[in-house]
Amino acid sequence: MQDKLNEFNLTDVYTKLNSILDIENSDLCILNNICDLTTGENNISVNVGQEPTIFGPFKVGYEVVDGLLMAYYDGVSMSKIGWGQIQPEDWPVLMEMTKADQKLRFGCPEVAKHMAKPLLGYIDYIFKVSQINVSVLVGDDSNIMSILASLGVKPYNLEDQPEMSPIGGKVIFEKWYNGVDYYLKIKYVYLSTEQIRNGARISEDNPVRETNLELQDAIVNEQGHCTFAQFMKIVENVLLNVPT
């Protein structure tokens, strides 16, 4: 995690947040001596049974950007979000903070496999033992990102959505049969940024967005399917090689 943290260049995000927060005159500076997010030190905390946590400018930056984004999704006037200091061109810069948080806390494979193991065990049970045709599991971004990282999903981009795991998004594992062999397709189904902000009614004329996901260690055909056997081998390898 430290190596991945060192790879990020978040100077532009921190600089913009310094300005939005008027950080030199903030309680954060007066009480906690955090007066410039570009120069502070980050510390990583990993404890058994808890999600990884980063203390320092990284944590402050993520929490502020998350709050700003939730206000945007809630339809708050742009004149009130970030005290009116956020322009449309600033959002892609700010969203780099959210992407970095997802990649750091939930995207490191060794950490992700431990976090995702119980859920992968349930997926293994659903596909191998259960007779259930459709299973719906409700969680949050930590579940989604740790599952994708532990399975080795290739990097992806979501159209009309700068987040990697937008609110209300769903990862769908579909098992297909062509009369001879079984296949698996993974896709991300989600709402665009503007659909969420506008509370849009979803219809055939205004559908949800979909993006196919591919596994690094599986061969995918033109329809976006890999063989079911390949997928299950990847799941089993995680379950066998990660201690409980």
Least confident piece of the model among 51-55, 67-71, 93-97, 195-199: 51-55
Angle at 156 between CA 153 and CA 157, to 5 degrees: 160
Question: Which pLDDT value is given to residue 216?
Answer: 93
Tell whether the model's pLDDT for residue 106 goes beyond 90.
no
Q: Which domains does the chain have, with CATH numbers?
A: 2-106 (3.40.50.1240), 109-241 (3.40.50.1240)
pLDDT confidence tier of residue 46, bands split at 50, 70 and 90: confident
| pLDDT digits 0-9 by tens, 112-171 | 888 899 999 999 999 999 888 999 999 988 899 999 999 999 999 999 998 999 999 999
- Hey, what are 32's tokens? 């906690």
Residues 6+ apart with CB under 8 A from 180: none
Residue 49 has pLDDT above 80, yes or no: no
Q: Is residue 180 over pLDDT 70?
A: yes
- Residue 222: per-residue pLDDT: 86
Percent of the chain with pLDDT over 70: 100
**What pLDDT score was predicted for residue 17?**
96
Q: Which two tokens mark 67?
A: 């709050």
pLDDT of residue 244: 65
Q: What is the pTM of this model?
A: 0.86
**Positive or negative CA dihedral for 69, 192, 140, 199?**
positive
Q: Is 133 exposed, middle or buried (0-12, 13-18, 19+ CB in 10 A)?
A: exposed
Mind giving me the DSSP string for 15-57? HHHHHHHTGGGSHHHHHH----TTT---EEE--TTS--EEESH
pLDDT at residue 134 in the model: 93
